[in-house]
Amino acid sequence: ATAEKGGYDHFMLKEIHEQPKAIRDTLASRTKNGLVDLSKEISLSKEEIQNIEKIHFVACGTAYHAGMVGKYVFEELARIPVECDVASEYRYRNPIITERTLVIVVSQSGETADTLAALREAKKQGARVVAITNVVGSSVAREADDVIITWAGPEIAVASTKAYTSQLIAIYLLGVYFAQVRGHKSAAELQEIVTHLQELPGKAEQVLKLEKSIESFARSIAKHQNLFFLGRGLDFAVALEGSLKLKEISYIHSEAYAAGELKHGTLALIEENIPVISLATQKSVYDKMVSNIQEVKARGAHILGLAVEGDTELRKSVDEVIRIPATIDLLTPVLAVIPLQLIAYYACVERGYDVDKPRNLAKSVTVE
């Protein structure tokens, strides 16, 4: 059994460590000369891409959190308005879909019942559908107009890790591809993004080298019943995923908050020694984030700050700090999520639960 886990104790840990490869494989052959080429996978013509008037990301669970990153990516790079919905809401809420709506469904398995139903509904109403999935020949892959496969390889652990980071890569590739066609960014700007994308596998490897210090923080929170994740912008999307990971396998209750919302409720729950994981990787909202951190610090929270290499400021306001390699703000989710996956993993190990098969949960939810 350890052999099929590649020497790791659990599939989840193996899959966390497979992320540099999954990212590399998902990028491979889709970039050349600083450009993204998805022409073999995306049948939309140049004109059709130019005519898209809105995008709907539709997915469940971790894939939904990838879609939330997608909202930022497509609005930033292609200036197309984006909504992101969980599939079980989307399919029953009578969304406004036209022939110029692009629906992007994200599903690791390609078999999630709600996601598949949302895809069918979108097609029925005339939308074009692109699927981002990890399984060639899955239902979602077969029924969508176009498919971008994430080359993460089989994911066994119920808690999704390498599928998520590969979904992010697929989203970046499609975002840059659309930006090239729609011309909202200069070629030089897009090339810079592609260069940074290509550096991600190596940088993900560097994040994994921080494992020991992440493990010790994770074991220290294992006795807690509640904790919070805070972030702004893309860090908020990653915070949601970190919180989900922790809930799924360690059964510690946690909430992820857009840090600016703290004052509107959550601050009332901050008490002495409550762990707060604060992401501060986004330059555009860095100062705002630091003042939010100081607000929770003043109420006695024990804070782990997630910062970018070269940041010497954050440690003044937090109790512990983890630094991920620097990249452009847009791409940080790929690196920032890895410490959060490891925190969930080691908190679960410390509490003695079954990492790969959490109670009540299934890898793929094929019934409603």
Residues binding ligand G6P (CB under 6 A): 60-63, 107-109, 112, 115, 158, 160, 361, 363-365
Nearer to ligand G6P, 17 or 232 (CB): 17
Q: Are 238 and 335 contacting, i.e. CB atoms less than 8 angstroms apart?
A: no
- Strands in 42-145 per DSSP E: 54-59, 82-86, 101-107, 128-133
- Closest CB 88 distance from ligand G6P, rounded Å: 11
CB of residue 170 to ligand G6P, shortest distance in Å = 12
- 357: annotated active-site residue: no
Please, which residue, 325 or 358, has the CB nearer to ligand G6P? 358
Phi, psi (rounded to 5 degrees) for 304: -100, 120
Of 108 and 165, nearer to ligand G6P (C-beta) is 108
**Cβ neighbours around 295 below 10 Å, total:** 16
Cα–Cα distance, 97 to 156 (Å, whole number): 35
Angle at alpha carbon of residue 251, lines to 68 and 347, rounded to 5°: 90
Whether 227 and 254 have beta carbons less than 8 Å apart is answered as yes
Q: What are phi and psi of 316, to 5 degrees?
A: -70, -25
- Calpha distance 162→169 (Å, rounded): 11
The least distance separating ligand G6P from the CB of residue 112, rounded to whole angstroms, comes to: 3
Of 5, 123, 288, 363, which one is the catalytic site residue?
363
Q: At closest approach, how far in Å is the CB of 329 from ligand G6P? A: 25
Distance CA 206, CA 201 (A): 9
Nearer to ligand G6P, 88 or 317 (CB): 88
* Position closest to ligand G6P via CB: 61
Our CB check for ligand G6P shows the closer of 116 and 190 to be 116
Give min distance, CB of 365 to ligand G6P, in A.
5
255-286 burial string, b = 16+ CB within 10 Å, else e? ebbbbeebeeebeeebeeebbbbbbbbbeebb
The catalytic site residues sit at 363
